[in-house]
Amino acid sequence: MGYTGITGPEHWGDLSKDYELSKTGKEQSPINITGAEDVDFPELNLNNQESEAHVKNNGHTIEVSFKNPKNTITISKEVYKLQQFHFHAPA
């Protein structure tokens, strides 16, 4: 719900005058982000290995999942496995 038909993104600018910019704006997300600060992040260590992946398009996202996740990222001695990632399409 919210991503197809009359409730899809192409109609969000018609829902209310408050959302008009999503119809006429030139940027994907017209959000004014203020108060940003530089921060120091811990070192990221990537371990990339060949992995079997499954790609699925469910109509609003492209999802890539891994059968046996072998790729990891280590942040502050904590190890995380890459199990899935996705992106929105159409954006």
Give pTM, 2 decimals: 0.52
Active site includes 86?
Answer: no
Report the sign of the C-alpha dihedral through residues 9, 10, 15, 18, in that order.
positive
Query: By the 8 A CB rule, do 24 and 18 touch?
Result: no
pLDDT of residue 41: 86
Domain boundaries, the chain: 1-31, 40-91
The predicted-structure confidence for 10-53, as pLDDT tens digits, reads as follows 788 888 888 887 778 776 665 677 888 898 988 899 999 998 99
